[in-house]
Amino acid sequence: MDTRAFKRSLHHSDRYNRRGFGLGEEVAGSLEQAYQSNLIASLRENGHVLQRGRLKIRLAEAFGFCWGVERAVAMAYETRRHYPSERIWITNEIIHNPSVNAHLRQMDVRFIPVDDDVKDFSEVGTGDVVILPAFGATVQEMQLLNERGCHIVDTTCPWVSKVWNTVEKHKKHAFTSIIHGKVKHEETLATSSFAGTYLVVLDLAEARMVSDFILERGQGAVDRQAFMDHFAKACSPGFDPDRDLVRVGVANQTTMLKSETEEIGRLFERTMLQRFGPSELDEHFLAFNTICDATQERQDAIFALVDEPLDLMVVIGGYNSSNTTHLQEIAVSRGILSFHIDTPERIGPGNRIEHKPLGGALETLEPFLPAGPVRVGITSGASTPDRVVEDVIERLVGLSEE
């Protein structure tokens, strides 16, 4: 389908809204009560440092809710206020934070059920209101909802829309989109739905596999079938690496690790330069900067934080939050004892913590805080409210006083 034409048509529909309902002042009190924190505001004004007894907290200079997340959550609250009695659905979590999504459920916002990674829209009817989350929805989902006569409230982050525009440009000029992202992540699914021919690479190692294929194609050095088996669930239908890796453009899931996305872009630029020469590089390689400012700021802030003397790091955010996971990755890469938690309740009495190690399953550590003075670094993903960060700090202080 012509995704550009469909988007234009959808944006002109009187059943589509991506600007909110002008009810910001009416929902401001509810948002402040649910998500803001006087303690965190004070910390921001006092050098992001808090000393409580033997505990010294160092808070990253950039953390928590980004503008796109604030916008999406506010629009969801406005939607319930504007449609007080209609059935309201959301195609996925509004953002990857359990407390925020719990608040929406309390407001009788329904979540599209998912069975074996397949969403079931069967209960969504004409006239229902459907919210598209901050990381977007696939063009097929938008089309289904539009044809069903739903009212669509689109909270997609503008940075995500920027990536969609990038892959549209790739498609227009017959370039394959190399998407740095997680294949099953909602944002990557949405981005790939707007692309033409695409291939998703998770990391630099997979990008190097693609680079090797491009450089060694036709020489028998790379097993074509092994390549296709590896990327079978990460490419567009009918993908042919011999045909589709001649002209490539790079895009990314906005919450990936900035440095890795940049390195992948440089890798493919060098690859096409080596394969086709400088005079033809522009005919075979395209790159646009689609790294989210907020993601970059939070990653830069934790790089600065881990340069401070710390005994341990606490990273707060949903376990399915890509940007939070990458914050954890940065701390681990510096050899700092690091704990990823999704809610304050993971820190319990008796000096214990339930946390998720990078790439692992939930585990419990007891005792958690060491004896004597403790220096703790804290950061949070872009979907984590200040109120949650405050609750984590208060629990840490409580443990230090036991």
* Residues annotated as part of the active site: 187
Residue 77, H or E segment? helix 67-82
Collapse the DSSP code of 98 into the 3-class scheme (helix H, G, I; strand E, B; otherwise coil) and give the result. helix
**The dihedral sign for the CA sequence 48, 50, 56, 59:** negative
* Cα separation, 280 vs 298, whole angstroms: 37
Helix, strand, coil distribution of the chain in percent, nearest 5: 45, 20, 35
Max intra-chain CA distance, the chain: 68
CA 284 to chain CA mean position, Å: 29
CA angle 213, 214, 215 (to 5 degrees): 95
- Nearest to residue 63, comparing CAs of 297, 322, 347, 350? 297
Q: What angle (nearest 5°) sits at the alpha carbon of residue 32, between those of residues 344 and 101?
A: 50
Closest CA to 73 of 31, 29, 33: 31
Grouping H, G, I as helix, E, B as strand and the rest as coil, residue 341 is strand
Helices (H) and strands (E) in the chain, counts: 16, 19
Q: What is the residue whose two structure tokens read 């598209």?
A: 132
Q: In sequence order, what E strands does 143-241 have?
A: 151-154, 176-180, 198-201
Q: Which residues make beta-bridge pairs with 115? A: 118
Is-contact 385 34, C-beta < 8 A? yes
Q: How far apart are CA 200 and CA 233, in angstroms?
A: 9
Which residue type occupies 228? M
End-to-end CA distance of the chain: 62
Q: Which tokens sit at 211?
A: 């680079």
Calpha distance 339→327 (Å, rounded):
11
